[in-house]
């Protein structure tokens, strides 16, 4: 017997309720585990809508067929109409993604992309602080930091079995000293379950100057972490606090008081629906208690170091460098088009971390036409026109100096030595450990100097500049000077080089390479000398820059 219309309507409504309930339940699980931003500028948001539309359509078709068992023609009609709601949602979302992608294209918004940043042209010799000592330059790359950090953690038996060091090391300026920091993470789900009541106990701080690392315990353990599960998951806590924000990568930092925070950039589109994404706001998140504050970029506290990551900084300059002359010029003519090299280093200036990368012409990448530095906190750009070797050529030149050892150079940083733009880098063995330091002149990359310490390499580089007729590389007014009486003179072989050690009567020791200054062989006990020197990492030992007898 046929069911009456009232029963048919009730069953039809029930099928809709079931469809909505199942879709909502699956939608919550999808949102809980994938954490998309509820924001039309987020591709993840539209992807979730497509999936949920298709889920609703399938669930409605199945539920309607099971619940509504009246005539096939009625079932098919109701089922078709209900399913089309879900299909329609999925179709609209899919079309939005396609149109949004097209509307965001550089073809239609070249000027918008190009004008995301403003680049100030500067004078390298006057604006880049001159380096008289290179003992405070962060040269260690992340790969080396990981090796040293993991070795440090490996010596702590009470920690190493439960945690590992996060691979994302943050370059920070801690108490006016460059450091790399990475927080511990739970080793796996079971380690989280076992230790969640105690939390994350500490982090690793790497000294990229001294090639050392230390494990630092938090005063209060951290609850929220990237490896946390469920309510302890860092990104889940952030998403539930800021459901509409599009997050960049979280960067772990500590302020000068040693307190831990995560710095999370919030992104926004500037072209179409998805194009020209840039930082609009910054969240400073306390992983101990879960509290957070959101700031406009211009209001971020000065102790924060990483707001813009290096990849974004390079990408934005490439938009500027390629698209300032219009889209078609970037494709066909390439007039005045320029781009960054494919990596970057770090420079610490005053209290800020800056990215450094070379700039080359789009039509030729064999040499640089200059370089840019980008403030990692404020996003400020400065361009310095200094033609010369691109970074990989300089790295090859440094490796060639010690080719018999098989060392590999890290991506360099940049310093100003007596007005000369100079690459400085480390040379690592096959195990990734730092063995030597190298300096290479940007404009004349055949001028190379190496040393076992930064100070030793700098002294050798200054002498190499003088030998090659580079003027202005002598003794600056602020170069340390000492009037000494020689007590002893000794010669020693260090790394296949003859080193002269001069001990003064006051106990201080000065050293110089005989191959770079043969006149050192003339120094005798009892001589009175005027010595200009550079300090080394060893207290009481200095590198001789120049000397003369009284």
E strand intervals along 286-400: 292-296, 338-340, 345-349, 352-361, 367-368, 370-375, 381-384, 388-389
Residue 131, helix vs strand vs coil: coil
Answer yes or no: are the C-beta atoms of 267 and 277 closer than 8 Å.
Answer: yes
Q: What 3-state class would DSSP assign to 150?
A: helix
Q: Do 412 and 423 touch, CB atoms closer than 8 A? A: yes
User: In this predicted structure, what is the pLDDT of residue 126?
Assistant: 82
Separation CA 23–CA 28 (nearest Å): 9
From the list 420, 342, 337, 339, the residue with the least C-alpha distance to 386 is 420
| CB of 147 closer than 8 Å to CB of 431 | yes
CA 513, CA 467: separation in Å to the nearest integer? 14
Q: What DSSP element (H or E) covers 220? A: strand 212-222
Q: What is the pLDDT along the chain (550 residues), one digit of tens a residue?
A: 444 555 456 666 777 788 889 999 999 999 999 999 999 999 999 999 999 999 988 887 777 667 665 544 444 555 556 678 888 899 999 999 999 999 999 999 999 999 999 999 998 888 887 776 655 566 777 777 888 888 888 778 778 889 999 999 999 999 888 899 999 999 999 999 999 999 999 999 998 877 788 999 999 999 999 999 999 999 999 999 999 999 999 999 999 999 999 999 999 999 999 999 999 999 999 999 999 999 999 999 999 999 999 999 999 999 999 999 999 999 998 898 999 988 888 888 888 899 999 999 988 767 889 999 999 999 999 999 988 888 899 999 999 988 888 999 988 888 888 888 999 998 998 887 788 999 999 999 899 999 887 777 887 888 888 777 775 555 555 678 899 999 999 999 887 778 999 999 999 999 988 877 788 999 999 999 999 887 877 888 988 878 888 7
């Amino acid at each position: 017997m046929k069911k009456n219309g009232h029963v048919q309507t009730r069953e039809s409504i029930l099928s809709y309720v079931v469809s909505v309930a199942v879709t909502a339940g699956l939608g919550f699980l999808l949102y809980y585990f994938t954490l998309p931003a509820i924001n039309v500028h987020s591709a993840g948001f539209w992807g979730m809508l497509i999936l949920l539309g298709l889920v609703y359509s399938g669930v409605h078709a199945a539920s309607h067929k099971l619940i509504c068992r009246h005539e096939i023609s009625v079932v098919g009609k109701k089922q078709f109409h209900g399913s089309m709601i879900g299909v329609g949602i999925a179709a609209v979302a899919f079309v939005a993604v396609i149109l949004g992608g097209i509307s965001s294209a550089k073809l239609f918004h070249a000027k918008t992309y190009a004008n995301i940043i403003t680049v100030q042209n500067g004078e390298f010799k006057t604006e880049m602080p001159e380096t008289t000592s290179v003992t405070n330059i962060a040269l260690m790359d992340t790969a080396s930091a990981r090796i040293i950090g993991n070795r440090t953690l490996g010596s702590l038996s009470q920690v190493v079995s439960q945690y590992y060091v996060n691979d994302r090391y943050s370059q920070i300026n801690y108490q006016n000293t460059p450091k790399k920091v990475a927080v511990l993470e739970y080793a796996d789900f079971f380690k989280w379950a076992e230790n969640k009541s105690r939390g994350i106990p500490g982090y690793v701080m790497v000294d990229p100057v001294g090639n050392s690392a230390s494990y630092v315990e938090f005063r209060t353990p951290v609850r929220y972490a990237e490896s946390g599960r469920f309510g302890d998951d860092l990104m889940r806590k952030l998403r539930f606090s800021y459901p509409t924000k599009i997050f960049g990568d979280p960067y772990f930092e500590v302020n000068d008081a040693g307190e831990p925070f995560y710095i999370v950039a919030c992104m926004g589109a500037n072209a179409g629906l998805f194009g020209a994404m840039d930082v609009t706001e910054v969240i400073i998140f306390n992983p101990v208690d879960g509290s957070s504050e959101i700031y406009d970029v211009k209001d971020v506290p000065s102790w924060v170091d990483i707001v813009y990551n290096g990849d974004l900084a390079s990408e934005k300059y490439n938009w500027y460098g390629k698209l300032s002359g219009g889209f078609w010029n970037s494709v066909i003519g390439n007039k005045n088009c320029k781009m960054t090299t494919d990596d970057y280093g770090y420079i610490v200036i005053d209290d800020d971390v800056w990215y450094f990368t070379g700039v080359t012409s789009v039509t030729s990448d064999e040499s640089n036409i200059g370089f840019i530095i980008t403030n990692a906190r404020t996003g400020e750009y400065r361009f310095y026109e200094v033609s010369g070797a691109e970074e990989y050529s300089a790295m090859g030149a440094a490796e060639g100096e010690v080719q018999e050892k098989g060392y590999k150079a890290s991506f360099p940083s940049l310093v100003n030595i007596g007005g000369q733009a100079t690459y400085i880098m480390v040379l690592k063995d096959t195990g990734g450990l730092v063995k030597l330091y190298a300096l290479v002149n940007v404009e004349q990359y055949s001028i190379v100097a190496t040393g076992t310490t930064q100070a030793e390499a700098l002294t050798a580089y200054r002498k190499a500049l003088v030998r090659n007729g580079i003027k202005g590389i002598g003794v600056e007014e602020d170069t340390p000077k000492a009037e000494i009486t020689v007590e002893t003179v000794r010669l020693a072989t260090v790394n296949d080089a003859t080193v002269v050690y001069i001990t003064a009567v006051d106990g201080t020791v000065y050293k110089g390479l005989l191959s770079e200054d043969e006149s050192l062989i003339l120094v005798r006990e009892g001589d009175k000398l005027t010595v200009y020197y550079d300090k080394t990492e060893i207290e009481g030992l200095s590198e001789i820059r120049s000397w003369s007898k009284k």
